[in-house]
Structure 1
Amino acid sequence: MPTEQIEQSAAVPFIDPFGRAITYLRVSVTDRCDLRCVYCMSEDMHFLPKRDLLSLEELDRMCSAFIRRGVRKLRITGGEPLVRRDILQLFRGLSRHLDSGALDELTLTTNGTQLARHAADLAQCGVKRINVSLDTLDPEKFRTITRWGDLRRVMEGLDAAQAAGIAVKINTVALKGVNEEEIPQLIDWAHGRGMDLTLIEVMPLGEIEPGRIDQFLPLSLVRAQLKQRYTLDEIDDRTGGPARYVRLHETGGRLGFITPMTHNFCESCNRVRVTCTGTLYMCLGQEDAADLRTPLRASESDALLEQTIAEAITRKPRGHDFVIDRRRSRPAVGRHMSVTGG
C-alpha cells in the first residue's frame, strides 16, 4: 500500500456494524499470574510457551496501529501484567502516544502484588489511574480466594500507587457466601482512602472447580441491600468501561456496578480485546476471533495488520450471550478470563 494511502487510512476509525467507534483497547501481555483466584483460574493451570506470545516490540506495534485508527484509551491486562518480564519497556514505549496527544489514557488492571516496586515507574510513564482487583479485606479469606495470596503485599502496593499520585479504583467480584456480607466494609474502606470501588458479577468464562452458579451473586440484589444502608445518587460518569456509577451520599465516593448477567452493558460497547498471543476478540462473551500475530510477523508494513483488524471489526456482535443457571453445566466461553485479559 502506498505511503499516502496508509496515511489516509489512519484518519478512518474502526467502526463496527452497529455504528460504534472502537476507541478502547484492552491488551493482555501474559496469561500468567502469581495468584489463582477461584472464579478466574483452575488451580492447575497450563500456561502458554513463550514462543507463542507477542514480543514487547510486537505488542507496541500492534497497539500503535489501533491508536492510529482512533483508539484513545489503552488498558494493559493479563493474567497479571506486572509479572511479564521487562514490562516497563512497553509502558515507556507507549507513553509516546500520550506525549503526542494521540492517546488520552494508558492504564492497567492488576492484582496489586507487584505494585510496590513498579508504581513510581508507572507514574513516570504517564499512568494516572489503575484498577486493582481485591475481593476481601480479610487476610485469611484473601488467601482462600486467591489460593495462596498475601494481602499485605497488595496493601503495600496500594500505598505505593497512591504515594506516586496514581488514582486507584478497586474492582471487587461479588461472590455469594464468600464476601457478600463484607461489601459495605469494602465500600467504606475504599471511599475512606479516596478510591472508587466497582462491584462485578461472576462471568461464565472457563472451566473452574466450583460451579459458578454457586458463586453467582446478582448485583440487583446487592444494590437493593445497599439502599438500606446508603443513599445511592445516580450520576452520568463514564470511564470508557462497562461500569455504571452511583455516588454514595454518606461517603461521597463513587460505586460502580458491572452487570453482564443481570443487565448487560453491550449497547454502547466501544472496546475490543487482544490476547498475549495476538488473538483479537471483538466480544468478551463470544468465541469469534481474528489472528493478528500472523500479519504482524508477515510484513514490516502495518497495512496487512490494519486490514485484518478492520475486517474483524465488521464481525463485532451487538452483545454477548452470558447465562448462568442450573441447566447449563458448561461455561458460556471455554477460555479463562486470564487468557482473554481481565
Structure 2
Amino acid sequence: MSDEGSGRYASPALDKGLVDPFGRAVTYLRVSVTDRCDFRCTYCMAEDMTFLPKSDLLTLDELSRLCSVFIAKGVRKIRLTGGEPLVRKNIVQLVRAVGQHIERGALDELTLTTNGSQLARYADDLYACGVRRINVSLDTLDPVKFRAITRWGDFSKVMAGIDAAQSAGLKIKLNTVAVKGFNESEIPQMIRFAHGRGMDLTLIETMPMGEIEADRTDQFLPLSKLRADLQRQFTLTDSPYATGGPARYVTVEETGGRLGFITPMTHNFCESCNRVRLTCTGTLYMCLGQNDAADLRTALRASHDDHYLPQVVDEAISRKPKGHDFVINRLTRKPAVSRHMSVTGG
C-alpha cells in the first residue's frame, strides 16, 4: 500500500483505556510526523542539523495505523507536530485519515502545531479534513528579529499563513517562547496583536532539550518574573479555561483575550499530565523530559493486525513516570535531555 495514511486499519474493541501508574488517564497523543523543519530556531536546534534518514521514518500509513490503535485505547485528542509537520510529503493524506475518526465520533479533536510557513498552502485542506484549531509558533513581530531567531524564516510568509488560516475558519493560538534579552519587552505588543485578531497567546519557558550553539542559561526567562512585569500594565484574572495541554490561562481584562503560561521549569505541571508523544520513527516517549521510551515500530511491523500492538502500548503506559526532570545545569551547561525537541515533537 502507498504512503498515504488511508486510515483503513480499525483496531479491535479495546475498552480498557490507558491509565498510568498514578491513575492518570492518557487521552492525548502528540504525533511527530517528521524531525525536519524549514526553520532553525536558535533555542530549538543547531543551524547545521543532521536529520534522520527518510528510510527511518514510519510511512504515513503506519502513522495512521498507530493513531487508530491509540484512539481505540481511549485517546480523544491528537496533535500533529514535527519538526514542521507541513513539510512532510503528502501530509494532508494523514490528516484526512485521522480526521475520519472525528466523523465517526471516536476522536474529539485533531490539531496541529506549525511554524506557519506552509499555512497559506494548506489551511483550506486542514479545515476540510476536520482540523478546527491550530497552534502557530511566533516569537516576535519584528521581521528582522524573526529572521535572526529562526535563522531561515520569512516573517511575511508566516503572516500570510495566519491570514489564510483565519480565512479558512481555523482558530489560532500563538505560542511564544520567552527568551531573555530577545523578546521580553515585546510581550505586551504580542498580547495586543493576538487578542486584536481573536487569537489566544501562550508564553512558554525555554526547555533544556538538545545541544544548540547558544547557552540556555543566558536564554532562560522565568515566566513568574514575566507575569509580574505584565501585571504592571494588564489586569490578569485566573481562568478555568483548559485545552487539555499544560498551559494555565488568565484573562487579560484590558483586551478580553486569553493568555496562557507553560512553565516546565518554574512550575512543574506534571500532576495532571494526560499525554504521551510518538515520534516519526515509532518511538513512544511517555514523558517529554525523560529518556525512557518504547519501540512501537518493531511491534507495528511484526504483524499486519493490531492484536499484539495494543499490549506493547499498555506496557509502555505502565512505565509512565510521575514527572519530568527538566533542569538547566549551570555548571555543565548541558541540556537535561540530549535529544532535540524536533525529534520528540514540539
Q: TM-score, normalised by structure 1?
A: 0.97
Looking at structure 2, the residues matched to 328 and 284 of structure 1 have their Cα atoms a distance apart, in angstroms, of: 21
Alpha-carbon RMSD across the aligned residues, in angstroms, is 0.8
Looking at structure 2, the residues matched to 103 and 336 of structure 1 have their Cα atoms a distance apart, in angstroms, of: 29
Of 87, 94, 103 in structure 2, the residue corresponding to residue 83 of structure 1 is 87
2:37 corresponds to 1:22:
no
Looking at structure 1, the residues matched to 202 and 71 of structure 2 have their Cα atoms a distance apart, in angstroms, of: 27
Q: Residue type of the partner of 2:83?
A: G
Equivalence for 2:330: 326
2:61 corresponds to 1:61:
no
2:319 corresponds to 1:315:
yes
Of 176, 183, 196 in structure 2, the residue corresponding to residue 179 of structure 1 is 183
Equivalence for 1:241: 245
Equivalence for 2:299: 295
Equivalence for 1:31: 35
Q: Residue type of the partner of 2:223?
A: L
1:325 shift after superposition: 4.0
2:287 corresponds to 1:283:
yes
| Contact 2:217–2:333 (Cα < 8 Å) also in 1 | no
Of 258, 263, 267 in structure 2, the residue corresponding to residue 259 of structure 1 is 263
2:142 corresponds to 1:122:
no
Matches within 5 A, 1:130-169: 130-169=134-173
Equivalence for 1:228: 232
Of 50, 58, 66 in structure 2, the residue corresponding to residue 46 of structure 1 is 50
Number of residues of Structure 1 aligned to a counterpart in Structure 2: 336
| Long gaps (5+) in structure 2 | 1-10
Q: What do the CA deviations read for 1:216-258 (whole angstroms, capped 9, x no partner)?
A: 0000000000000100011111100000000000000000000
1:328 shift after superposition: 3.5
Looking at structure 2, the residues matched to 61 and 229 of structure 1 have their Cα atoms a distance apart, in angstroms, of: 49
Looking at structure 2, the residues matched to 46 and 181 of structure 1 have their Cα atoms a distance apart, in angstroms, of: 34
Looking at structure 1, the residues matched to 307 and 247 of structure 2 have their Cα atoms a distance apart, in angstroms, of: 34
Equivalence for 2:75: 71
Looking at structure 2, the residues matched to 7 and 335 of structure 1 have their Cα atoms a distance apart, in angstroms, of: 34
Q: Residue type of the partner of 2:301?
A: R
Q: Residue type of the partner of 1:128?
A: R
Looking at structure 2, the residues matched to 76 and 269 of structure 1 have their Cα atoms a distance apart, in angstroms, of: 18
Looking at structure 1, the residues matched to 280 and 256 of structure 2 have their Cα atoms a distance apart, in angstroms, of: 38
Q: What do the CA deviations read for 1:65-118 (whole angstroms, capped 9, x no partner)?
A: 000000000000000000000000001111110001100000100000000010
Q: What do the CA deviations read for 1:166-194 (whole angstroms, capped 9, x no partner)?
A: 00000000000000000000000000000
2:174 corresponds to 1:170:
yes
Q: Residue type of the partner of 1:44?
A: D
What is the aligned-residue identity percentage?
71
Looking at structure 2, the residues matched to 115 and 91 of structure 1 have their Cα atoms a distance apart, in angstroms, of: 14
Q: Residue type of the partner of 1:319?
A: G
2:219 corresponds to 1:215:
yes
| Long gaps (5+) in structure 1 | 1-5
Looking at structure 2, the residues matched to 312 and 11 of structure 1 have their Cα atoms a distance apart, in angstroms, of: 17
Equivalence for 1:3: none
Q: Residue type of the partner of 2:266?
A: T
Q: What do the CA deviations read for 1:314-333 (whole angstroms, capped 9, x no partner)?
A: 00000001111422421100
Looking at structure 2, the residues matched to 150 and 7 of structure 1 have their Cα atoms a distance apart, in angstroms, of: 46
Of 87, 110, 117 in structure 2, the residue corresponding to residue 113 of structure 1 is 117
Q: TM-score, normalised by structure 2?
A: 0.96
Looking at structure 2, the residues matched to 242 and 202 of structure 1 have their Cα atoms a distance apart, in angstroms, of: 14
Equivalence for 1:338: 342
Q: Residue type of the partner of 1:295?
A: A
Looking at structure 1, the residues matched to 138 and 292 of structure 2 have their Cα atoms a distance apart, in angstroms, of: 30
What secondary structure sits across from 1:267 in the alignment? helix
Looking at structure 2, the residues matched to 256 and 341 of structure 1 have their Cα atoms a distance apart, in angstroms, of: 20
Q: What do the CA deviations read for 1:104-152 (whole angstroms, capped 9, x no partner)?
A: 0001000000000100010001100000000000000000000121100
What secondary structure sits across from 2:276 in the alignment? strand
Moved over 2 A (4+): none
